[in-house]
């Protein structure tokens, strides 16, 4: 998503982010909504709290190493590590990683 997102983070009693409020019109434009292809809280939290990419957050969520994902794609671990660091990966990259992880492309693009 290239458009700027206006959102509000609501902090829980433990001082950690608990909710994100997004303008309704923006929510309606989001792909994945509350249907098949959603993203678990653990994945979102890893990305936002630790600053890792969506690819890295999903990989960790599934308990995989970079080498394991790279092998599924047919590339080296070093090449996959570079993929995880790119801020806006190409669609072809997202398609390869999504297929390797059993995800939809939109689950990697947020």
Chain segment 69-80, per-residue pLDDT in tens = 999 999 999 999
Spatial neighbors of 96 by CB under 8 A, at least 6 apart, are 73
Q: State how far the Cα of 32 lies from the Cα of 38, in Å rounded to an integer.
A: 5
Query: Could you read off the pLDDT of 40-76 as tens digits, one per residue?
Result: 888 999 999 999 999 999 999 999 999 999 999 999 9
Instruction: Identify the three-state secondary structure at position 95.
Output: helix
User: Superfamily for 38-108?
Assistant: lambda repressor-like DNA-binding domains (1.10.260.40)
In the chain, CATH 1.10.260.40 covers 38-108
CA-CA-CA-CA torsion sign (72, 31, 45, 51): positive
C-beta separation of 46 from 88 below 8 A? no
Indicate the pTM of the whole model.
0.66
């Amino acid at each position: 998503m290239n458009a700027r997102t206006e959102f509000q983070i609501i902090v829980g009693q433990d001082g950690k982010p608990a909710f994100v409020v997004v303008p309704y019109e923006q929510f309606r434009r989001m792909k994945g909504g509350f249907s098949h292809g959603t993203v678990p809280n653990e994945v979102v939290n890893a990305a936002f709290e630790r600053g890792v990419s969506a690819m890295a957050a999903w990989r960790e969520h599934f308990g995989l190493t970079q080498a394991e994902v790279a092998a599924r794609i047919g590339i080296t671990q070093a090449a996959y590590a570079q993929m995880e660091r790119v801020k806006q990966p190409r669609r072809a990259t997202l398609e390869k990683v999504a297929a390797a992880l059993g995800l939809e492309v939109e689950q990697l693009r947020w």
